[in-house]
């Protein structure tokens, strides 16, 4: 069994927002360890967009939840775009819905699992 197989959990995959429609988070397999941009043991890689800026980092899965550790992100001005997804600190999978929480533990939105 590969480490990729051992890393499967409910948050893994691509999740998309209704508003803005270009916003998404994609939870990938194990992060490469070490280096300036490397992850830590037990973390997966995270990529996405808040509808304007790129979002990157790592996540630590725990059952149907994951805690986000932010990495590099772009910081463009986004007039008229609600960049709520850039405030993500943790998530919880519930079937085809991903609940998104900020650092205070308040739900700030939901994403829907993308079709394969």
Dump pLDDT digits (tens) for 18-42. Answer: 888 888 999 988 877 665 566 677 7
Q: Could you give the CA distance from residue 101 to residue 98 in angstroms, rounded to a whole number?
A: 10
- pLDDT tier at 87 (50, 70, 90 boundaries)? confident
Which range has the worst mean pLDDT, 12-16, 29-33, 63-67, 87-91? Answer: 29-33
Q: How much is the pLDDT for 50?
A: 82
Q: What's the pTM?
A: 0.83
Mean pLDDT of the chain: 83
* DSSP E strands, 1-116: 13-16, 24-30, 44-49, 54-62, 65-70, 90-94, 97-101, 107-113
Q: How much is the pLDDT for 84?
A: 81
């Amino acid at each position: 069994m590969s480490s990729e197989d051992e890393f499967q959990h409910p948050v893994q995959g691509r999740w998309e927002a209704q508003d803005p429609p270009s916003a998404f988070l994609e939870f990938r397999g194990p992060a490469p360890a070490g280096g300036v941009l490397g992850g830590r043991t037990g973390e997966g890689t995270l990529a996405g967009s808040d509808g304007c800026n790129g979002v990157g980092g790592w996540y630590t899965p725990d059952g149907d939840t994951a805690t986000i550790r932010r990495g590099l992100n772009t910081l463009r001005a986004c007039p008229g775009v609600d960049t709520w997804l850039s405030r993500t600190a943790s998530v919880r999978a519930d079937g085809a819905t991903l609940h998104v929480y900020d650092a205070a533990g308040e739900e700030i939105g939901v994403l829907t699992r993308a079709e394969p």
